[in-house]
């Protein structure tokens, strides 16, 4: 079944008393960056033994729209960083070469990258095709992590309609977290996890917002740290000690150039490291950062163009905001997720919120 995405009230890490530093935006989410929207399609169906092509199904897709306008598509400046490259982010070479992309950005399970890429292109052309003309080409951004412990991943249950629904239903404001969208079948530090998000408002020659959204599927239970404190595991089932992966998306309205956004994407690794991971050999830890500032149409005839940007010497608060937001987003992904049983009865337990809260009493 496809799960609708009416917001379910769950505790977030801050609700448990975790004393994060720095002010957040109103939703404490990547959608605090003006114009950014997020949508999910969650697929949960069936129980019991795995039958490839039939289920059980524990997967989905998460869509991020960096710009929500229609009409002529406008690029966002961007940079990416691969901390450990055992994963996939389509369009990464284009971002590295040109320093921008058009969107959308979608996150899903490893074996669904192809259909999500194709559906994203279909959605983009349906939305912008008349404006860009028949000779226009486009590279959607799709990131993945592996959900095969809980999900019939070889069955490739994500379909075109599921991707289109996530894109069409993307909204601003609060974002559903945990076992939703692309994060449905994911685990982190041996606990159930998935999608998490957070934001920071920073002062760097003006007030800017830095938002992060992660699909967290990495780490081993003994590594987990909550603001530097070890969280003692309850007597519960732990997901197998695999290498795992994380895809992290950073958005900001601060005027940054592509090389500065590449530097920003590197700071996401600090947020990941603070939660305990040192980066495993087989983990795909890939981060993309974009800025919605300097909106310029695709116009090769415009000639010399001036761009606003923050001096490099003013970037420290923005860097700190990125690391802080990624750290909190990962912990939100953990706290928001419920225990899940998937294929062949495989089970991943949720983290005990009371155990987290006890750390800071």
Q: Look at residue 313 and give its three-state secondary structure.
A: helix
Round to whole Å and give the CA distance between 232 and 350.
13
Angle in degrees, CA 170, 83, 231, rounded to 5: 80
Q: What Å distances lie between residue 327 and 36, 58, 100, 331, CA to CA?
A: 20, 25, 25, 7
CB atoms within 10 A of CB 19: 8
> Which ranges of 65-175 would DSSP assign to H, the alpha helix?
92-98, 113-132, 160-168
Round to whole Å and give the CA distance between 55 and 167.
24
Evaluate whether 214 touches 196 at the Cβ level (below 8 Å).
Answer: yes
Write down the catalytic residue from 285, 291, 324, 349. Answer: 285
Clarify whether 199 is annotated catalytic: no
User: Tokens in use for 220?
Assistant: 């081993």
Clarify whether 120 is annotated catalytic: no
Write down the catalytic residue from 32, 283, 291, 324. Answer: 283
Name residues whose C-beta falls within 8 Å of residue 145's C-beta, 6 or more positions apart in sequence.
87, 107, 109, 110, 182, 186, 215, 217, 218, 244, 245, 246, 247, 284
Round to whole Å and give the CA distance between 67 and 225.
34
Clarify whether 285 is annotated catalytic: yes
| Phi, psi of 111, rounded to the nearest 5 degrees | -80, 5
Write down the catalytic residue from 153, 245, 277, 291. Answer: 245
Bridge partners, residue 44, by sequence: 58
| Residues with a known catalytic role | 245, 283, 285
């Amino acid at each position: 079944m496809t799960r609708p995405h009416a917001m379910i009230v769950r505790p977030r890490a801050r609700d448990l008393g975790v004393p994060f530093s720095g002010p957040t935006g109103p939703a404490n989410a990547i959608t605090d960056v003006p114009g950014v929207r997020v949508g999910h399609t969650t697929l949960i169906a069936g129980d019991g033994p795995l039958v490839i092509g039939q289920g059980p199904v524990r997967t989905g897709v998460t869509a991020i729209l960096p710009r929500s306008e229609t009409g002529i598509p406008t690029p966002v400046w961007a940079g990416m960083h691969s901390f450990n490259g055992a994963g996939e982010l389509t369009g990464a070479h284009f971002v590295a070469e040109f320093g921008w992309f058009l969107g959308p950005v979608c996150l899903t399970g490893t074996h669904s990258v192809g259909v999500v890429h194709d559906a994203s292109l279909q959605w983009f052309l349906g939305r912008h095709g008349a404006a860009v003309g028949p000779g226009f080409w486009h590279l959607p951004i799709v990131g993945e992590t592996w959900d095969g412990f809980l999900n019939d991943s070889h069955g490739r249950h994500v379909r075109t309609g599921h991707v289109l629904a996530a894109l069409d239903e993307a909204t601003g404001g609060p974002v559903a977290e945990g076992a939703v969208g692309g994060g449905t079948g994911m685990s982190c530090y041996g606990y159930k996890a998935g999608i998490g998000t957070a934001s920071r408002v920073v002062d760097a020659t003006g007030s800017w917002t830095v938002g992060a959204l992660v699909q967290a599927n990495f780490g081993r239970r003994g590594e987990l740290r909550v603001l530097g404190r070890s969280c003692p595991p309850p007597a519960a089932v732990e997901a197998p000690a695999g290498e795992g992966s994380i895809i992290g998306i950073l958005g900001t309205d601060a005027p940054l150039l592509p090389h500065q956004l590449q530097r920003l994407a590197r700071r996401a690794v600090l947020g990941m490291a603070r939660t305990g991971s040192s980066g495993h050999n087989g983990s795909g830890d890939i981060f993309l950062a974009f800025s919605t500032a300097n909106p310029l149409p695709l116009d090769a005839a415009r000639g010399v163009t001036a761009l606003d940007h923050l001096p490099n010497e003013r970037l420290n608060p923005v860097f700190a905001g990125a690391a802080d937001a990624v750290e909190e987003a990962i912990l939100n992904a953990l706290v928001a997720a419920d225990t899940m049983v998937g294929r062949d009865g495989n089970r991943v337990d949720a983290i005990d919120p009371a155990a987290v809260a006890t750390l800071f009493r």
